[in-house]
């Protein structure tokens, strides 16, 4: 499979898993891209990690010398993809609207947060890993929101199917712990857990926060509570955000950051392999473990 086809398939499947649906006519994801490499390069063996920095690229070069390697795949954005991170946050407007928050309110809060993220990212040294890949002549891509969309869709389907048995916060934690990626996280003491509320409390209306670039507005929690949301299921939640959620008495379940990213990447890679009718040789690194489904 050629590099450009690999990437285009990732974008296609990312669109298909997008919680906004086809009506938004999503063309691309600014937080994902071919960071370095010839589009027609052949891809058979890939190294996949959640965070790929200079150290991982040097490791990849050593692996290429010893046994061959065609491509390095990161989840989190680098280079131009990192600069574009704030742009994909617009997705959050639709998720908040689906949860019952008024469109104008959601738009205002997300717009404010997007500008904050853009300002935070702008002065960073974006190109360090990309420069390393160029100097090593090592093909390098990252797939962020396309993978996050997959974990969001996967969990949403499970939650809807299990709706009748998800009565308490503890039921949510138990359900998550049945998923292989979260079971691996459990071995490292980073598995799913409740960080706010009580395991015996009713779940009420549940909001999944698994895609949308990065954390949204800290001021959204009171709006979610008014919309009937009582439980958040997130990859991660910063301390300031947790305090705001506590003020409105929300339950918060943390599924796990790296484990959720791993789940999304695995689902995305499954789809690419099925489409290409090709099973890639995968070297797992940087928090990622390859698990195939079906």
Quote the pTM value: 0.96
The backbone torsions φ and ψ at residue 289, rounded to the nearest 5 degrees and listed phi first, read -130, 125
- Which own/partner pairs from 104-107 qualify as long-range (CB within 8 Å, at least 24 positions apart)? 105/223, 106/220, 106/223
Radius of gyration over every alpha carbon of the chain, rounded to an integer in angstroms: 19
CATH code for the domain defined by 151-256 = 3.40.1390.30
Tokens matching residue 95 = 């998720």
pLDDT of residue 79: 97
pLDDT along the chain (294 residues), means of 10: 97 94 69 98 98 98 98 98 95 94 96 96 95 98 98 97 95 98 97 97 95 92 96 95 95 98 98 96 98 91
- Asked if 178 and 204 count as a contact pair (C-beta separation under 8 A), the reply is no
pLDDT of residue 106: 96
- Asked if 131 and 171 count as a contact pair (C-beta separation under 8 A), the reply is no
Determine what percent of the chain is predicted with pLDDT higher than 90: 97
pLDDT of residue 168: 97
pLDDT of residue 26: 59
pLDDT of residue 21: 76
The alpha carbon dihedral of 218, 198, 178, 185 has a sign of: positive
The Cβ of residue 102 has, within 10 Å, a number of other Cβ atoms equal to: 13
Residue with structure tokens 């950051």? 257
pLDDT of residue 191: 96
Q: Where are the domains of the chain?
A: 3-146+259-282, 151-256
Q: How far is it, in rounded angstroms, from Cα 93 to Cα 269?
A: 27
pLDDT of residue 27: 66
């Amino acid at each position: 499979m050629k590099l450009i086809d690999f990437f285009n398939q990732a974008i296609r499947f990312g669109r298909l898993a997008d919680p906004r649906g086809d009506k938004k006519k999503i063309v691309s994801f600014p937080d994902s891209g071919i960071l370095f490499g010839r589009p027609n390069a052949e891809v058979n063996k890939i190294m996949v990690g959640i965070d790929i920095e200079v150290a991982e690229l040097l490791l990849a070069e050593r692996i290429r010398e010893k046994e061959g390697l065609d491509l390095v795949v990161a989840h989190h954005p680098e280079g131009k993809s990192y600069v574009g991170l704030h742009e994909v946050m617009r997705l959050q407007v639709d998720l908040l609207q689906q949860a019952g928050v008024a469109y104008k309110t959601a738009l205002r809060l997300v717009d404010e947060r997007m500008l904050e993220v853009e300002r935070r990212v702008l002065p960073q040294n974006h190109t360090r890993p990309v420069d390393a890949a160029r100097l090593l002549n090592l093909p390098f891509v990252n797939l962020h929101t396309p993978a996050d969309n997959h974990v969001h869709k996967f969990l949403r389907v499970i939650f809807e199917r299990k709706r009748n048995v998800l009565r308490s916060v503890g039921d949510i934690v138990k359900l998550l712990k049945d998923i292989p990626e979260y079971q691996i996280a459990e071995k490292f003491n980073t598995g799913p857990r409740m960080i706010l509320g009580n395991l015996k409390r009713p779940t009420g209306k549940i909001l999944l926060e698994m895609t949308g670039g990065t954390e949204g507005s800290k001021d959204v929690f009171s709006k979610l509570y008014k919309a009937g949301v009582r439980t958040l299921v997130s990859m991660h939640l910063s301390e300031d955000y947790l305090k705001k959620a506590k003020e409105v008495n929300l339950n918060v379940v943390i599924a796990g950051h790296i484990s959720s990213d791993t789940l999304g990447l695995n689902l995305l890679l499954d789809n690419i392999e099925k489409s290409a009718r090709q099973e890639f040789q995968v070297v797992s690194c940087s928090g990622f473990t390859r698990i195939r489904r079906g």
